[in-house]
Amino acid sequence: MRRLVISFAALSAALALVPVAQGFNPQTAGLQIALFQHGLYRGPIDGVQGPKTRRAIRIFQRRHGLAIDGLAGPRTRAALGPRGGPLFGTRSIRRGKAGYDVGVLQFLLARRGLFPGRLNARFGARTERAVRRFQRSMGLLQDGVVGRRTARLLCALPACIWRPAPRRRPIRVHRISPGETLTAISRRYGVSVNAIARANRVDPARVILAGARLRIPGAAAQMAMTQPFAVRAALDYWSGRYGVDARLVRAVAWFESGYNNALVSKAGAQGVMQVTPVTWDYVEVVLVGRRIPHTLSGNVQVGVAYLRQLLREFGGDTRLALAGYVQGPRSVRTRGLVLETKNYVAGVLALSRRI
């Protein structure tokens, strides 16, 4: 199969001259390179998951029989093959390596003017020389290996925080005792209820039978990459407090920020739930009646409280409530759902059925 590559000449302006945009995530550059190599993406390699990137993801998902949500989750990245992983910051990379993280590395080096080559996600001699030049400029050992220190100096954004991929634990088998619940079993093994339910193809809302055997996957640490424990705990807590479907809340949070509490949009929306200052004030003054701390938990509380209010305003219509969350309730009533909102609602609902 003919290997597709991206020429430096065609992309130098996008890589070196454009300032960092809101929603910038270097990991997205690896995705864009992978989609380009699959012949689906022709936009700039800029680390911003805009409409062109999401459209390419959806086309890829449709071709591979995946849920079409425009998100590059674990299943979509797995379908990308060797180009879909691992993420930058999960391993040391050196000459001879290839994959998603090498593409991100080349992108980061190119933004600094150190990599005048092709973004092909393959760590060859040219990439090694660029890494050594960067290490020299930072006073590091010039070994050409991107380990913890080199990676952190290349990218200090939360998306790049060094998280070495954990070793997979072997799958264990648990025999259900009388009176046991999936919640109790999940706490015992440190694996989410949903992970256990998926591994055994059972409905987590139904009663489990004593004496049956459950496969306990060793996926809790691996899932932390896409579902950080602190964020997931806050989402589940506040969805329970406000009586909103936890799956819906998780899907909204993933669509809005990718569970990134440091994200700030052009409109000033902040955190996991991408709450604007106006919405925050409204929730504090009208819905809650007290100040809410500007913490991760506070951000989730405001977002969930606002979503519950929208569900009430639209008579429990989840589709219209989601539209109001992203487009604004007044705009939904006067204009109806615009195309971008329709795509957003469809994506959130699709994700909520499997998250």
Please tell me the distance from the alpha carbon of residue 262 to that of residue 77, in angstroms, as a whole number.
Answer: 23
Active-site residue flag, 256: yes
- Residue 189 in contact with residue 174, Cβ under 8 Å? yes
DSSP secondary structure of 223-277 = HTTTS-HHHHHHHHHHHHHHT--HHHHHHHHHHHHSS-TT-B-TT--BTTTTB-H
Among candidate residues 128, 180, 256, 313, the one labeled active-site is 256
| Secondary structure class of 281 (helix, strand, coil) | helix
| Secondary structure class of 171 (helix, strand, coil) | strand
CA angle, corner 90, sides to 8 and 113, nearest 5? 25
- Residue 83 in contact with residue 37, Cβ under 8 Å? yes
Q: What kind and span of H or E run contains 170? A: strand 169-175
Beta-bridge partners for 272: none
Q: Is the alpha carbon torsion for 30, 33, 38, 42 positive or negative?
A: positive
Please tell me the distance from the alpha carbon of residue 103 to that of residue 129, in angstroms, as a whole number.
Answer: 15
Please tell me the distance from the alpha carbon of residue 120 to that of residue 8, in angstroms, as a whole number.
Answer: 11
Residue 82 per-residue DSSP state: G
The residues annotated with a catalytic role in the active site are: 256
